[in-house]
Amino acid sequence: MNEREKAAAGLLYDANNNAELIHQRLEAKVKVHEYNHLDPRDLEGKERILKALLGKTGKHLIIETPFHCDYGYNIELGENFYANVNLVILDCAKVCIGSNVFIAPNVGLYTAGHPLDAERRNQGLEYARPITLGDNVWIGGGVTVLPGVTIGEGAVIGAGSVVTKDIPAHRVAVGNPCRVVREIGEADRLRYQSI
């Protein structure tokens, strides 16, 4: 089993000394650098780079710059995806994001983790656990999502939260650590008047 396969299986793998993974991260960094430095009016160029970088995208997506990721090929986006500035996705494992997902500024989706014991950590070993965001999820500003977390359809994560555990569908969750505070219901639909 090679290091990429170990990462996909959730096993400890060598991310820091493996030539193949180092090369793949470098290729992604080149594409990300190009993306982050394009003229903001070059929408076709931005789309071309994202489609070449990411594993899967919907037809409509916007990722404001700057944006950073490790590999790109582990990121799968549904339709109508929007991410504001400073999105960081450490995609050592799959990051699957549904349709109609909105992400506020300064959000980090981190699939990577490291052993607690210094000996293995200093060897360059790490692990990766997938992250999943269901359809219609809204992630507030400054949120951190940790390895292995699934956020259910229609959930809203409050600004500044650190999501360490799964969040069920149609819930508002906030805090550090992030906790469900209530269900999203009919009153929420009626709360804001249409223009």
Q: Where are the domains of the chain?
A: 3-191
Query: What type of residue is 160?
Result: G
Q: Which two tokens stand for residue 47?
A: 């789309």
Q: What pLDDT is stored for residue 194 in this prediction?
A: 65
Nearest to residue 93, comparing CAs of 73, 123, 68?
73
The pTM of the full predicted model, rounded to 2 decimals, is 0.94
Q: What is the pLDDT of residues 99-158, one digit of tens each?
A: 999 999 999 999 999 999 999 989 989 999 999 999 999 999 999 999 999 999 999 999
Write out the catalytic residue numbers.
114
| Domain 3-191 superfamily per CATH | Hexapeptide repeat proteins (2.160.10.10)
Nearest to residue 157, comparing CAs of 130, 136, 188, 129?
136
CA distance 82 to 25: 24
DSSP state at residue 64: P
